[in-house]
Structure 1
Amino acid sequence: MHRFNVPFVLSICLVVAGCTSSRMDEILSPSSETTSSISRPDVPTPTVAVGAVKPVEAAAAVGVAALMPQPAVPEPFEASMPLAGMPVPAARPVAMLAPDMPAVGTAPRMRGKIYSRQFRDAKPINFGSRSPRSLPVHGVDVSRWQGEIDWPKLRSQGANFAYIKATDGGDHLDPMFRKNWRAAHEAGLKRGAYHFFYWCRVASEQADWFIRNVPKVPGALPPVIDVEYNGESSCKRRLSRAKVLEKMQVFMDRLERHYGQRPIIYTAPDFYSDNLEGAFPNHHFWLRSVAAHPSKVYPGRKWLFWQYSGSGLSHGVTGRIDLNAFHGSEDEWHRWASGTRG
């Protein structure tokens, strides 16, 4: 039997850990973008270390067996690894809501509890008889600007689903994405990820970046492409409608091939009127409309999600949060979210 030099092994581990952490921080730099009406808070936003390595245990507490080479264990959050052999059920559209979608790579699950809406609003709007309160399934969308979230408490307030900011452009990862992705799932919410699209970056590069960072897992909601104007972006280009649609198509096709789900399009009124009216009839839309019902702001457009407030207030979150509603009944939600759509 050979004896191991414990101090030497420990020093090698610390060197490897330091190099790995430094490189990952360089690659996964946080974005300066904001989306929708979410503003940056006055207080520092907490960050989450990506790819952090656990400290090495004290030598006195570690036996020789613990220092023996161990077989490699696959990283559970590997974004680029597809789940082989996953059943792909036949897809049918939500009744009277939106066009057909491809099959979703998830297995049907037991229905989760639907929590009723208990959110408040810093800037309440009277939507009249077509209020979002009449819709039974509500949810939220979040990013780093919400800081630390108490997901179980947020769910009990009426957040039955959450769309979580993952990436923007071709090299920015939201520093809270991985933590929010896991915590939302653990709290029982249906979760999905969204990408903020940059018009100054190649569409295929942006798709590859999203795929690299967002895992393909059973039960996840379809990915979302967020297309809108953003005055705070360093990219000031205004492309032609034809070029906008072309870049979006490249991005969405790439995601659909990888995840087996057709991406949802999130947009706002001004961008929609300039570029998307009448376009993509076979895609679901998630529409921002905080002053009127979507039917008045986007006439003729079928929609799946309605973002009805950017000034929501809820236990579980400090500050404001975007509020959304699903366009359908509880049964339609369960069918759509499970992927069975039957």
Structure 2
Amino acid sequence: MAILIILIFLSALLALLLYLGIVHINNPSKAKYPVNGVDVSAYQGQVDWDTLSSQDIDFAYIKATEGSTFKDSCFEYNWKEAGETDLRIGAYHFFSFESSGEKQAANFIDSVDVIPMMLPPVIDVEYYGKYQNEDDIDVVEIRAELRNMINILKEESGVNPVLYVSEETYNTIVAQEFSDCDIWYRSVYGKIDGELDWTFWQYSNRHRLNGYEGEEPFIDMNVFYGTKEEFESYGTQI
């Protein structure tokens, strides 16, 4: 009975530490993945980029837009301030299943000022709200609109956008259809399948760093699949 009580206590303690972001399920090898970065949105508030950038990170992706009209309230500030640090930065767009790819591309292009050495644009493809799985969408139509947005952003920036995906959206929407785009894969509860070809890996959504005080206490952490030298030239056609 004493052993059982101890095991229950230790399990509860581990769960609490995971919830509080003190310990983490994934801890990618720094030697294997030397390039680390964050992604932020208005949920982190107006970031103190001097403080954030000093914490062993190399890049930051910043939410710019969503759908055909929404603009992140902190993007303009974050884009300007982050651009004055040594970080490489990029902007991302949350893809809507209710707007055309053309209008969504226009919203992103209108919102993001091009700067030297910026990272390729990212299109975040996730299920959300009333769209919880492939049964809730017309997959063929969504793929067509996503392709339209990809083509427009490629023409505008000179590089293919990166597609941010969950396991669900990768398997049901993206896999086998968009091999021309690099993949940013979300896997916060385990490692990525060794057969999957990825460029960025979001390995945690419960990290805590200094430099932000928004309503979200945690920050997403990511790694780049490559060396620091490879990262320096990644997407530099922009």
Q: Please indicate, yes or no, whether the TM-score normalized by the shorter chain is above 0.5.
A: yes
Equivalent residue of 2:154, what SS?
A: helix
Alpha-carbon distance between aligned partners in 1 of 2:152 and 2:129, rounded to the nearest angstrom: 27
Is 1:316 the counterpart of 2:211? The answer is yes
The 5 Å alignment of 1:1-342 reads 121-126=21-26, 131-133=28-30, 134-231=32-129, 238-295=136-193, 300-318=195-213, 319-336=217-234, 338-339=236-237
- For these two proteins, the number of residue pairs brought into alignment is 213
Query: How far 1:164 sits from its partner (Å)?
Result: 0.5
Equivalent residue of 1:258, what SS?
A: helix
Equivalent residue of 1:266, what SS?
A: strand
Counterpart for residue 15 of structure 2: none
Question: What do the CA deviations read for 1:115-144 (whole angstroms, capped 9, x no partner)?
Answer: xxxxx94451156xxx35331010000000
Alpha-carbon distance between aligned partners in 2 of 1:271 and 1:307, rounded to the nearest angstrom: 15
- The residue type paired with residue 216 of structure 1 is V
Alpha-carbon distance between aligned partners in 1 of 2:198 and 2:210, rounded to the nearest angstrom: 28
Unaligned runs of 5+ in 2: 1-19
Alpha-carbon distance between aligned partners in 2 of 1:196 and 1:137, rounded to the nearest angstrom: 24
TM-score of the pair, normalised by structure 2: 0.83
- The residue type paired with residue 24 of structure 2 is P
Query: How far 1:258 sits from its partner (Å)?
Result: 1.1
Query: How far 1:223 sits from its partner (Å)?
Result: 0.5
Which has the greater radius of gyration?
Answer: 1
Contact 1:256 1:263 in 2 (8 A): yes
Alpha-carbon distance between aligned partners in 1 of 2:68 and 2:29, rounded to the nearest angstrom: 35
Contact 1:193 1:224 in 2 (8 A): yes
Larger strand percent = 2
- The residue type paired with residue 222 of structure 2 is N
Query: How far 1:339 sits from its partner (Å)?
Result: 4.4
Equivalent residue of 2:43, what SS?
A: helix
Question: What do the CA deviations read for 1:176-229 (whole angstroms, capped 9, x no partner)?
Answer: 001000111112211111110111111111111111111123211110100010
Contact 2:26 2:203 in 1 (8 A): no
Contact 1:149 1:316 in 2 (8 A): yes
TM-score of the pair, normalised by structure 1: 0.58
Unaligned runs of 5+ in 1: 1-119
Contact 1:123 1:311 in 2 (8 A): no
Counting aligned pairs with the same residue, the percent is: 36
- The residue type paired with residue 190 of structure 1 is R
Query: How far 1:253 sits from its partner (Å)?
Result: 0.4
Query: How far 1:150 sits from its partner (Å)?
Result: 1.4
CA RMSD, Structure 1 to Structure 2 (Å): 2.2
